Amino acid sequence: RKPQSPPGPKPHWLVGHTFQVPQTKAWLYFEKLGKEFGPIVKLSLAGDDIVVLNDPKDAEELLNKRSSNYSSRKPLIYAGRYLSGNKRLVLLPYGPTLKKQRQAFHQMLQPRVVGSYESMQLLESSKFLYDMLTSPETAFLNCKRFSASLVFYLSYGRRLSPDDADLTEVLSILDSFIEDCYPGTHLLDTFPFLDFDYAWFRKMFGEQKWKEQAREKHDREVRFYGRLLGEVKDRMSKGEVVECFAARLWEQKEKHELDEESMAYVAGSAFEAGTGTTSGSIQFFIMAMILYPHVLQKARKEIDSIVGEDSESPPTFEHYDQLPYCVALCKEVFRWIPAAPGGFPHYSDEDDEYQGYEIRAKTMVIPNIWAMQHNEQVFPDPKRFIPERFLGVDKADELTEGHWAFGFGRRICPGRYMGAKSVWIGIVQLIWAFNIGPDYDKDGNPIPIDVDAVTSGINIEPLEFGMRLTPRSERHANCIRRMWNEMQNKIQ
């Protein structure tokens, strides 16, 4: 039989489903369609074919097993070509440039080497606890600072400047980049003919406004990431041993065949892709602990039984194997509200046929991670936070297994081993050190938390909610102060 188009809602004759797909939390709409039409759903957005995969089996077949066809990204004219100069890893089409950039990433972030970042993770985690102790009112920002510092250290081999200037700049670059990628933000991604370059047009009207703006943003990014990369080179040329991503890139410049602008973007990509996802996961963890206090108690009991109830220091990576419940808890954080719930759209290169369905070349294939991780058959009672579901199963001790929060196939998150360990160390140390509870209104009632109140974008974070983090005891508070003092002495 001739392959059929996958099912989906009736499109508008002119604009397809453009106005049916909501601008925010599209993953919930896609999940609903999955329940109505079956796990594979087809939509059309302003001329683009979109296939949504709501079942992990289909995602694994297409994005993992047939990855040679499903590992590209839709070319974005504004964000990809003009803003990123076709050098930003996350937007690169499948091909030699992507392979070179991913290879550089792999070298720095494969499981064999991520162990060497543990001391840096412990350093930043002790600062994180200290910030939560001394500035609990900025808890959200503390999470962000923790994750940004980690990836910054990994990329550039030094701590973020204490005045937060680099952090402010990267967060602003990131916010603007995410907005520029969002479907519908730039008309020319829907109507590519708007990207023209006629001398007569320029002469009469000047450069198109959007093009000028994209180039300005590009220059700002190249200046910022280029400066950070250049600083590492300077330190190396003074004979300093610098252990970081940027240093490896300088050492292996010829091998990776990357020009300096690409190197600046590669190191910057780690910073960009690793910050919001790691901090979002920790913020969702705090939310879960407020809503499910018995989970916090159970995890703390496990930790106390291993490090000792009167311990003067929190658990570290050496306790990992003895804390299976805390490992399961961390995996449940990745499953319960994944930091990138709608996945990152893959893009097909050639026509394909799957289960009697036709998937044409240049189709955006969206792995709906949210629906996969809220499938009742795989995860009963999916809305509830239940770490026990990850106990006693295959690969229970691996943080990145048993869920799909890190994506698929050849585009799977290259920072997943490090990112998962950062989240784990951050949360087990918080559990050890703090009581985590809701905030209260003036009448003494706990302020309810809305789990659905999240930011929109490719990766999400909860909107700020009230919380109270108080040290478990004066002993714990003293220990946090002492640890950060000791760490500071080590750095100096």
> Residue ranges for the binding site for heme?
413
Residue 50: which of 429, 343, 248 has the closest Cα?
343
Q: Which is nearer to ligand HEM, 67 or 355 (CB)?
A: 67
Contact between 406 and ligand HEM (CB under 6 A)? yes
Q: Which is nearer to ligand HEM, 16 or 183 (CB)?
A: 183
* Alpha helices in 85-242, H assignment, sequence order: 96-109, 111-114, 118-134, 139-156, 165-181, 187-190, 199-205, 209-237
Stretch touching ligand HEM by CB under 6 A, among 4-12, 178-186, 208-216, 267-275? 267-275
**Minimum CB separation from ligand HEM for residue 270, in Å?**
4
Contact between 117 and ligand HEM (CB under 6 A)? no
CA-to-CA distance for 462 and 139, rounded, in angstroms?
A: 12
* Nearest-CB residue for ligand HEM: 415
Q: Which residue's structure tokens are 């930091």?
A: 339
Which two tokens mark 151? 């990836």
Amino acid at 456: S
Contact between 408 and ligand HEM (CB under 6 A)? yes
Q: Which is nearer to ligand HEM, 366 or 479 (CB)?
A: 366
Binding residues for ligand HEM, rule CB under 6 A, total: 28
Rg (the chain; Cα; Å): 23
Q: Of 419, 438, 462, 471, which one interacts with ligand HEM (CB under 6 A)?
A: 419
Contact between 80 and ligand HEM (CB under 6 A)? no
Contact between 157 and ligand HEM (CB under 6 A)? no
Contact between 339 and ligand HEM (CB under 6 A)? yes
Q: Which is nearer to ligand HEM, 128 or 406 (CB)?
A: 406
Q: Scanning residues 136 to 155, which ones bind ligand HEM (CB under 6 A)?
A: 151, 154
Q: Which is nearer to ligand HEM, 371 or 418 (CB)?
A: 418
**Minimum CB separation from ligand HEM for residue 154, in Å?**
6
CA-to-CA distance for 344 and 321, rounded, in angstroms?
A: 32
Scored b (16 or more CB within 10 A) or e, 220-246 reads ebbebbbebbeebbebbeeeeebebbb
Contact between 90 and ligand HEM (CB under 6 A)? yes
CA-to-CA distance for 253 and 99, rounded, in angstroms?
A: 15
Residue 462, phi then psi, degrees to nearest 5: -70, 150
491 contact partners, CB below 8 Å, separation of at least 6: 123, 159
Contact between 126 and ligand HEM (CB under 6 A)? no
Q: Scanning residues 280 to 319, which ones bind ligand HEM (CB under 6 A)?
A: 281
SS3 readout for 199-240: HHHHHHHCCCHHHHHHHHHHHHHHHHHHHHHHHHHHHHHCCC
Residues that bind ligand HEM (CB under 6 A): 89-90, 102, 151, 154, 269-270, 273-274, 277-278, 281, 339-340, 343-344, 405-408, 411-415, 418-419, 423
